[in-house]
Amino acid sequence: MAVCALAQSPDMDRIRERLKDPAQVFPVFQELIAAGEYGTAQKVLSPGAMKILTPEVFFLTFASYEPPRRLVASLRVHGVADGKVRLCSPEFGVSREFRIAKFLSIYTLDFTSDDIDFLKGRTLGWYRHQVRRADGWHYAYPPDWTYAPLARSCACAK
C-alpha cells in the first residue's frame, strides 16, 4: 500500500521548476487539487495565505464537495502581470485578479480573506442557481442534466 502512495505522489522537483514561472502557479495548484493532493496544493500558497487557510479551511474552500472542486477545475488563467493572475470561469461568473507573490525562487498564490470569501460566495451562488434551474431539487438531477452556467463568457472577454 505504501508503495502505491509513493508512486502517485507528485514530483516535487518538477513542481518547483514549474513554480518559477508565474503563469504556472495556478495550473500547478489546479492539478494538485484535481489529484487530491491537498497538502501539497496548500504549499503552493504564500506564507500569509497559509495562515488564513488552515488545513480545515483550505479543504472546505477548495475541495469539500462538488461546487468548490468544480470551480477550481473550471478556472482559466487569462493573464499574468504586475504580481497578479487573472482567473476566469464563465460557469461560476468569475473574472478576478488574484495576487501572486515570489517566495525565495518560486511564485506562490497569495489569497486574501476577501478572495476566499469571494470564492465561497461564487460556489454558493452557483449551487443556488442549479437548484433554481432544477425546480428546487437539491442534488437530485435527472441523468441527462447539464449544469447551468452563471455567465456565457468571462468579463475580461478572452
Q: Which pLDDT does position 136 carry in this prediction?
A: 72
pLDDT of residue 104: 84
Q: Based on the number of CB atoms within 10 Å of its own CB, is 44 exposed (0-12), middle (13-18) or buried (19 or more)?
A: buried
Element spanning 122, H or E? helix 113-133
Domain definitions of the chain by residue range: 11-133
At the topology level, CATH places domain 11-133 in Nuclear Transport Factor 2; Chain: A, (3.10.450)
For residue 95, list its beta bridge partners: 88
Mode of pairing for the β-strands spanning 84-89 and 94-103: antiparallel
Q: What is the pLDDT along the chain (158 residues), one digit of tens a residue?
A: 333 333 345 678 888 899 999 999 999 999 999 999 999 999 999 999 999 999 999 998 898 888 889 899 999 999 999 899 999 998 888 899 999 999 888 999 999 999 999 998 888 888 888 888 877 776 666 667 677 777 777 767 66
pLDDT at residue 126 in the model: 86
Q: pTM of the prediction?
A: 0.83
Q: How far is CA 100 from the centre of its chain?
A: 14
Three cell numbers written together for 50: 497559509
Helical pair 113-133 and 66-74, crossing angle rounded to 10 deg: 110
